[in-house]
Amino acid sequence: MVQSIISNKTITLQDVERQECEVWTRVMGYYRPVSEFNIGKKSEHVERDFFKEKKVIES
């Protein structure tokens, strides 16, 4: 069961109501689903450092 609060409303979903999310990533210039990676590529994906852009604060 998962609960989320959206617009001050609590939404509760049972596990049977949830949908699996497929993760895609860019490899060698094109996008592929991570689920189709071989064992070596999956381990590389886990070790990646993901880029996080900081917010710009204007003064």
Tens digits of per-residue pLDDT, 8-55?
888 888 888 888 889 898 877 889 998 998 999 888 888 888 778 888
Degrees, nearest 5: CA angle 35-15-1? 120
| Residue 4, pLDDT above cutoff 80 | no
Which pLDDT value is given to residue 33? 92
Which pLDDT value is given to residue 49? 80
Of 51, 56, 9, the C-alpha closest to 26 is: 51
Distance between the two ends of the chain, CA-based, in angstroms? 43
Helix (H, G, I), strand (E, B) or coil at 34: helix
Against a cut of 0.75, is the pTM above it? no
